[in-house]
Amino acid sequence: EFRAEGRQFDLIVLDPPKFAPSAQHIDRAARAYKEINLVGMQLLRPGGLLFTYSCSGAISMELFQKIVAGAATDARSDARILRRLSAGTDHPMSAAFPEGEYLKGLLLEKV
């Protein structure tokens, strides 16, 4: 609806639910993350900031970054990663359970 109206925003936060509850859902989740980030980039003004997150343990930070970069490319936008984000120090992770590092995010600026 906002795209049809030509609306744009200075700040967008994308914090969807877990799209990949397990590794077998990675492809579906990647498509969903790409779609919402594509829309986010289309609605973001140049110079605007996008906070985008994933809480899917099956999606690595590396894959998430590739998905978001692909969404920016498909939106014909250039974006700079200003910061990689993760859970705070009050959210410790077990050394025996690396999947506990499920929360990841990126702060991007649309150039």
| CATH class of this structure's domain 2-110 | alpha beta
pLDDT tens digit sequence for 55-78: 998 999 999 999 999 999 999 999
What's the pLDDT at 3?
A: 84
Mean pLDDT score of the chain, rounded to an integer?
Answer: 95
Question: Catalytic amino acids?
Answer: 55
Q: What is the phi/psi pair of residue 95, to 5°?
A: -60, -25
For Cα atoms 55, 69, 91, give the angle at the middle one, nearest 5 degrees: 25
Q: What pTM does this model have?
A: 0.91
**Which candidate, 107, 109, 36, 33, places its Cα nearest to that of 77?**
109
Lowest mean pLDDT among 46-50, 53-57, 58-62, 96-100: 96-100
CA distance 65 to 84: 9
Tell me the pairing of strands 9-14 and 44-54: parallel
**Residue 99, pLDDT above cutoff 80:** no
